[in-house]
Chain A
């Protein structure tokens, strides 16, 4: 069995396991989605993961941005079924990779170790195949959840919906 076939089998198996009643796997998470469901641990892992990618509470008045909610909503509503399945499989594979790296579930690791794991992923030339539809999207949407907040757009990027009729095409910088 070559690596590709193995990967496909894993994907099919993971997709199949999604259909099992939630109680057989774990407690169900609080968030509800149309196209997949997550266990409470998986949901918690997403909350911690997005927080490690970008520590949102450290920004504006320590008000949490809850980026994971945006990430998962986008995965639920903006991905085609194939990509979506790959994203959800990747979510599960992420924990396995974390375990290989740090010796325990991502959630059980110390924050510094969690960050170390992410840094190790970032340092790799190519991500593990199982994560290619998960980690980059999670990071992109985590960043987007932050850079599209009113606080960021107005205070950091000086967003102005009504710039006014002035355009100058030759301004020294």
Chain B
């Protein structure tokens, strides 16, 4: 099939974390694939305008100008929305939505999506996560188990390049790892303290998508070793971390089978009542607003969890008046996220004669230890925790003139170690946590605005309380002092781990997608981004989206060969 008549073998909606993987797998298998991206093109190493700018080259030395913050009250809450990376975030006023309950929607509308600015944490799910809903009686049972996904985790890890240690934990399965970064002495002290005091609590170095030792497959991608610049959100000139722009998309392009179309806002998926399947995608040119239809046998929806819900809800036909595949009315429901509200910090006066030198792109990690083997608390599930320690330093800014000058020219005085732990709580998907379309309000492209009815519940509050109690105890055992807890009370969304709304399940009556991420009622449409998630676990979810996508794409190719779709 050619592209003159707007017809392809496959269409992928979205070019980010999971869309890039769909494109790579489908193109490698010989399918002529159109990737639709609503934003501008971002070419690796060409369109990273700030990547090599030094601190003194930023007009405001990295701070956000007031007008930018004022115009973007939502996106300004994101830690990465600073002078160096603000061009990679969609601006609030361009993309309005309706917050029936507060929700901070952080968006990256450009080729590569949020894979450019992500935090690069890549922990596998474990069997406990896939079994969770069935065992604990929430959401619906996952239609797959860890063993179904394990080979695909390996598949994406090898290609993306994941650093980590083989820690041998059943709560956090090992993978295909490049060498890990190391814990510093205080993190290691905490690790030793925790492992002595508790049988199932483990402090490890987090697995992350950084090339610590590039393999031939990475060099072939044109990527090099991570140089620990810690400026990843700008795009990396070395290709030292995984993003779609440096990794999956160029690989897909190299096959000659990829057509990448930026500035293509998807209106809906076209369903043909007579054929009983989806036949294509309706697209609005972001600039000219002209509509064009594109056609394909296979459609992958990877618009990012929220926009995937939006597109499916907006894909109405005679057969599906309430949104594509939505016979049971559950589309947009059971939407969930991660609870990132809680932090705890402290001081450690030990190791006063030690310091850490050099850069590190991530930090330590403590997998979930609550309610793993049995239900042991008054809340369901649990939390993973990021943990870090660093030596503080103090510069004396007192005085003026020569006095002050001398202070600034002196070496900063080393202070005590500071430690911190960040909470990543599993939230329980609920029918009441829902995305829906506004009946009248529309955006610049005539697409209905999305309503957010998403909130924390009592389970989340209890979990935060437990986190504070457990980590205060663990910190005290480690000899940390000045322990202080902080609940930011931030709205859902700022975790940027939005999931669900188009959940997978065994039964078409209670789920939208089957075990291959196909819509139960429209088998040639696959949803493999965050929208497909049945439950949320405690792990940063991107790696799981990648694995699910690669798995589904390869199966889709086989199904097409067998003429099942």
Asked if A163 contacts B229 (CB within 8 A), the reply is: yes
Selected interface stretch from B108-116, B245-253, B348-356, B491-499: B348-356
Whole-angstrom distance between the alpha carbons of A81 and B409 in the complex? 35
Which A residues touch B297, using CB under 8 A? none
Does A53 sit within 8 A of B, measured CB to CB?
A: yes
Given contacts A78-B63, A143-B397, A170-B354, contact A150 B225 (CB under 8 A): no
**Per-residue interface assignment for chain A, residues 51 to 62, with 1 indicating a CB less than 8 Å from any chain B CB and 0 otherwise:** 011110011000
Which A residues touch B431, using CB under 8 A? none
Asked if B56 contacts A115 (CB within 8 A), the reply is: no
Asked if B397 contacts A156 (CB within 8 A), the reply is: no
**Per-residue interface assignment for chain B, residues 441 to 461, with 1 indicating a CB less than 8 Å from any chain A CB and 0 otherwise:** 000000000000000000000
Identify which of B187, B229, B404 contacts A54 (C-beta below 8 A).
B404
Asked if A115 contacts B60 (CB within 8 A), the reply is: no
Does A12 sit within 8 A of B, measured CB to CB?
A: no
Q: Which of B379-404 contact A (CB under 8 A)?
A: 397-402, 404
Asked if A165 contacts B228 (CB within 8 A), the reply is: yes
Does A169 sit within 8 A of B, measured CB to CB?
A: yes
Q: Which residue of B lies closest to A77 (CB)?
A: B65
Does A24 sit within 8 A of B, measured CB to CB?
A: no
Asked if A166 contacts B401 (CB within 8 A), the reply is: no
Q: Which residue of B lies closest to A111 (CB)?
A: B401
Does B227 sit within 8 A of A, measured CB to CB?
A: yes
Which B residues touch A119, using CB under 8 A? 399-400
Which B residues touch A125, using CB under 8 A? none
The chain B residues found within 8 Å of chain A, CB to CB, are 52, 54-56, 59-61, 63-67, 70, 181-185, 187-188, 212, 225-229, 231, 353-360, 397-402, 404-405, 408-409, 414
Does A1 sit within 8 A of B, measured CB to CB?
A: no
A-B contacts, 30 listed (Cβ < 8 Å): A52-B401, A53-B404, A54-B400, A54-B408, A77-B65, A78-B66, A79-B66, A115-B401, A118-B401, A119-B400, A122-B399, A139-B397, A148-B61, A149-B56, A153-B54, A156-B408, A161-B231, A163-B229, A164-B227, A164-B228, A164-B358, A164-B359, A165-B226, A165-B228, A166-B358, A168-B356, A168-B358, A169-B183, A169-B185, A172-B354
Which B residues touch A78, using CB under 8 A? 60, 63-66
Identify which of A143, A149, A165 contacts B225 (C-beta below 8 A).
A165
Whole-angstrom distance between the alpha carbons of A159 and B379 in the complex? 47
Q: Which residue of B lies closest to A162 (CB)?
A: B227
Contacts between the two chains (Cβ within 8 Å), count: 118
Query: Beyond the given A55-B401, A144-B61, A169-B356, could you list 7 further A-B residue pairs with CB under 8 A, ordered by the A residue number?
Result: A52-B400, A55-B402, A162-B229, A163-B229, A164-B358, A165-B228, A170-B188
Identify which of B231, B355, B400 contacts A53 (C-beta below 8 A).
B400
* A-B residue pairs, 3 tightest by C-beta: A169-B184, A167-B358, A170-B185
Does A132 sit within 8 A of B, measured CB to CB?
A: no
Asked if B401 contacts A80 (CB within 8 A), the reply is: no
Whole-angstrom distance between the alpha carbons of A172 and B391 in the complex? 13
Does A171 sit within 8 A of B, measured CB to CB?
A: yes
Asked if B408 contacts A147 (CB within 8 A), the reply is: yes
Whole-angstrom distance between the alpha carbons of A80 and B67 in the complex? 8
Q: Which residue of B lies closest to A141 (CB)?
A: B61
Given contacts A58-B405, A122-B399, contact A173 B414 (CB under 8 A): yes
Which A residues touch B357, using CB under 8 A? 167-168, 171
Q: Which residue of A lies closest to B184 (CB)?
A: A169
Asked if B187 contacts A165 (CB within 8 A), the reply is: no
Asked if A163 contacts B228 (CB within 8 A), the reply is: yes
Given contacts A148-B56, A165-B225, A165-B228, contact A171 B355 (CB under 8 A): yes
Which B residues touch A77, using CB under 8 A? 60, 65-67
Which B residues touch A100, using CB under 8 A? none
Does A7 sit within 8 A of B, measured CB to CB?
A: no
Which A residues touch B397, using CB under 8 A? 139, 143
Whole-angstrom distance between the alpha carbons of A97 and B358 in the complex? 47
Which B residues touch A152, using CB under 8 A? 408
Asked if B359 contacts A169 (CB within 8 A), the reply is: no
Which A residues touch B401, using CB under 8 A? 52-55, 115, 118
**B400 to A: closest C-beta gap in Å:** 5
Given contacts A54-B401, A165-B227, contact A173 B355 (CB under 8 A): yes
Q: Which residue of A lies closest to B189 (CB)?
A: A170
